[in-house]
A and B are shown apart, each in its own frame.
Chain A
Amino acid sequence: MTAAPTRIEYRKVTRRFAPQRKGAEGVTAVIDVDLAIADGEVVSLIGPSGCGKSTLLNMGAGLYLPSEGEVLVDGVMVDRPNPQVAFMLQKDLLLPWRTIRENIELGLQIRGVAPAERRDRALRLMERCHLTGFADHHPHQLSGGMRQRAALARTLAVEPLVLLMDEPFSALDAQTKMVLQADLARSLADERKTALFITHDLVESVALSDRVLVMSRRPGRIIEELVVDLPDRDNPFGRRQHPRVTEYVKALTALLDIGHQELHA
């Protein structure tokens, strides 16, 4: 379907965790996951809690390796954190002792970018993420929505090719969430970023992505793929109005139930 090259790919990825205590059983978080995301594509991942979605993301970020199979970014195996990939969580993870600007600069500072340049980049991103004027504020002075904007700016500051996002907006109130979704969609489209987006919000997954992958209960595997064939991926407000959104959400609801039944089979 797409001529674009594959940016990130999971090949037969299985991840087991050692038992916590002696005698306890180890846990297989995900099993046999195959997925490929093309350049510029946004893919959502939905599934029941504890199905290993976050495990997939952590392996993509290089925080740990798969037990079997491999993760590739631009055809290169991910065996450690790498500059092409950045991740963002539900928690904003802003450092309370740093100002907002310094927080956005964190990744750049770690990578050794000179102070003047990282300052410029941070200020430019703050403008784009509607944070102008908050450069010298500390995180506790900001609302949850603003903090999450800062977290997004910090993620974008390192100019990753692939963004891995783990329910980035799930702790926000409904209105703030919609505004941030719109901002994110615009940024992803403008810069042609590739993204893997975990969410529990089915409407969010339809509003933001090109494809939605459905995972089963643990051990998680991908049981279904739904291509969202709707316009306006860069404008979730517009896409939400589309009459077919409900159809997709209905289909996803049904698919999630299949995952549930498999567990009891």
Chain B
Amino acid sequence: MTSAGQPRLGLIAASAGVLVAFLAAWEWLPGLMHIPEFILPPGSRVWLEFLRVQQTENLWLHTGITALEVIVGFVLGSLMGLVIGCVLGVSPRAELVLSPYLLALQIAPKVAFAPLFVMWMGFTVYPKILVAVLIVFFPVMVNVLSAIRTIDPDLINLARTFSASRWQIFRMIEYPATMSPLFSGLRIASTLAVIGVVVGELVGGNKGLGYLLTYGEGQGNTALVMVSIIMLTLIGIVAYGAVALAERRVLHYLPRAQHTTA
């Protein structure tokens, strides 16, 4: 079907065109507009800085540490969100008791906890992970909880007419029904995890891309700041992509349109 294929190809070309235009503007516009390099270094300057800090500043070590914190924080926070979401989902009473506190904790800006955690746990990876856990937890929990709450009661009744036990209803109906909303939550969480970790690193420590960012700032090294931002973005993209990939495998039973990454 060339008629269907061609517009798609055209779209990809247009998209690539935008990238090229952006890179070109980044490279030459600052010079043309006489913007000094310490304000807005051109693309090539940032690329050179990227090559330089691989040697001198251990860029990959910092990236690795940040990535590790993101992964651990994301996994722990998601698991917690899933488990607590399920518990509150099957027990309306527990939800009633805990909901004011959960709401308060949800409203509190999680990143504001970062200095506190650093005071408690020092300049280690733990406060960063903890901020990520906290920030990841809510979207996952809320999605799982509302998934269980919105299950068609007739589905539960159907299982009950087959004399299903409470556990069977959970295992065969409620839990699988959380999967699709769970993944919507995980996609949001994957990007939030990066935010949580960076804020933790900005606050204190001498490792990770957040540290590199403040280090570059202190040096007046704008190019290094930009390299750090780009690396962080890449970590976020990979995390999001991994979730989207897993989603496609787990939710294979849904018609495509319902879970595309668009």
Chain A residues with CB under 8 Å of chain B are: 58, 61-63, 80-83, 85-87, 89, 91, 93, 95-98, 106-107, 109-111, 138, 140, 158
Tally of B interface residues using CB under 8 Å: 19
Cross-interface CB contact of B163 among A83, A89, A95, A97, cutoff 8 Å: A83
| Chain B contact surface mostly | helix
**B144-171 interface mask toward A, CB cutoff 8 Å, 1 = contact, 0 = none?**
0000000010110111111110001000
Contact, CB under 8 Å: A95 / B176: yes
Contacts A93-B152, A140-B255 given; does A81 touch B176 at CB 8 Å: no
Having A87-B161, A110-B159, one finds 7 other A-B pairs with CB under 8 Å, namely: A63-B157, A87-B158, A89-B158, A91-B154, A106-B158, A106-B162, A106-B172
Cross-interface CB contact of A91 among B152, B161, B162, B163, cutoff 8 Å: B152
**Distance (whole angstroms) from the CB of A159 to the closest CB of chain B:** 12
**Distance (whole angstroms) from the CB of B178 to the closest CB of chain A:** 11
A71 to B204, CA, bound (A): 70
**Distance (whole angstroms) from the CB of A48 to the closest CB of chain B:** 22
Contacts A106-B172, A138-B253 given; does A93 touch B160 at CB 8 Å: no
**Distance (whole angstroms) from the CB of A166 to the closest CB of chain B:** 10
Contact, CB under 8 Å: B176 / A97: yes
Chain B residues with CB under 8 Å of chain A are: 152, 154-155, 157-164, 168, 172-173, 176, 179, 253-255
Contacts A96-B253, A110-B172 given; does A82 touch B163 at CB 8 Å: yes
Instruction: Across the A-B interface, give the 3 residue pairs with the lowest CB-CB distance, nearest first.
Output: A107-B162, A110-B162, A138-B253
Contacts A91-B152, A110-B168, A138-B253 given; does A97 touch B159 at CB 8 Å: no
Q: Which residues of A contact B152 (CB under 8 A)?
A: 91, 93
**Distance (whole angstroms) from the CB of A92 to the closest CB of chain B:** 10
Q: Which residues of A contact B155 (CB under 8 A)?
A: 93, 95
Q: Which residues of B contact A140 (CB under 8 A)?
A: 253-255
Interface centre among A61, A95, A140 (most CB of B within 10 A): A95
Contacts A138-B253, A140-B254 given; does A61 touch B176 at CB 8 Å: no
Contact, CB under 8 Å: B173 / A111: no
Q: Which residues of A contact B164 (CB under 8 A)?
A: 110
Contact, CB under 8 Å: A93 / B162: no
Q: Which residues of A contact B254 (CB under 8 A)?
A: 96, 140
